[in-house]
A and B are shown apart, each in its own frame.
Chain A
Amino acid sequence: MKNEELDRLLMQALKEEPKVDLPLGFPAMVTRHVFARSRQFKASVAAVAWGLLTGCLVFIGLFILNASLAEQLLRILYSGKFVLLTVVVAFLGVQYLDQRFVKLRQS
């Protein structure tokens, strides 16, 4: 066999892709894995924000319908302000720590 032919065969073999493959849908799987956690955190923050906004709207509605009842509700909520604040901060804190832990495990 001629040298050129031998070189051609060798080059052809070296250029051929190995017969291995990644699982079907690998890009989607990795993207889900990378973005799922950060999305979850953003969704939690959004949920808290929506909750607060809804609460405000309900309060305004109540104030329009019955001002004294709204005032009474506000007084009750104000007396438990630290409890409410602690619940929100604890919820977001747990979400944040979860993020940090996952990132630390990945690095």
Chain B
Amino acid sequence: MVPEKELVSKVLAGDARAFKCLVEQYQRLVLHVSSRMIRNEDDLSDVCQEVFIKVHKGLGTFTFQSKLSTWIARIAYLTSVNHLRKYKNDQLNRSTSENDELDNLHFTEHTPERILIRKDVNAYVHHLIAQLPLNYRTVLTLYHLQEFSYQEIEEITGMPEGTVKNYLFRAKKLLREKLELYLKHE
């Protein structure tokens, strides 16, 4: 893994190989952040490309006050949110609305997909996560999958630290309850 500063200075000097290396290094991060928000795979690929174009364009303004990964994750988050706003009537992305009501959330249980994933705990949890409201999905991904701190998640999403903690706590509690029921029935 190339050090951040070296990579950034090479990209700024116009080194295409360094930029390719940067994309290779951060493509999983961008994919994970965006895929939790955008369902359509074609759109997802376009959004990821747009994120890296913005990264290239804005790299000159990056001041190293935060980690490069935090800065890129913020661009990925904002680009995905903008994409959702732009195509909010799109059927494929409709379930990614910014509705934060977790209490009234109704999970689909008896779908063919649910039957297929019956024996797979991980798939079941991912099936549940996919149905959570947008902000819950985002903080779960950033905290557990990308291992960002609360402060970094605040920087990325703009949500206050308390809200991030609250979303994480509530989402995990709900997932735990659902998983407990699921394992009892299996």
Contacts and interface: CB of A to CB of B under 8 A. Distances in A.
Q: Do A and B come from one complex?
A: yes
Given A11-B144, A14-B144, A31 B44 contact: no
Interface string A2-45: 00001101111111111111110011111101110010000000
Contacts of A29: 49
B125 A10 contact: yes
Chain B residues touching A, majority SS = helix
A71 to B, nearest CB: 43
Contacts of B84: none
A22 B57 CA distance: 21
B85 interface: no
A43 to B, nearest CB: 14
9 contacts: A10-B176, A14-B172, A15-B144, A18-B35, A20-B31, A22-B48, A23-B45, A30-B53, A38-B14
Nearest to B179: A10
A79 interface: no
A6 B179 contact: yes
Interface of A: 1, 6-7, 9-23, 26-31, 33-35, 38, 103, 106-107
A17 B121 contact: no
Interface of B: 14, 16, 19-21, 23-24, 27-28, 31-32, 35-36, 41, 44-45, 48-50, 52-53, 56-57, 121-122, 124-126, 129, 140, 144-145, 172, 175-176, 179-180, 183-184
Instruction: Summarize A's interface: helix, strand, loop or mixed.
Output: helix
Nearest to A36: B16
A33 to B, nearest CB: 7
Contacts of A35: 16, 19
Contacts of A27: 20-21, 23-24, 27
A106 B79 CA distance: 12
Nearest to B172: A10
A36 to B, nearest CB: 10
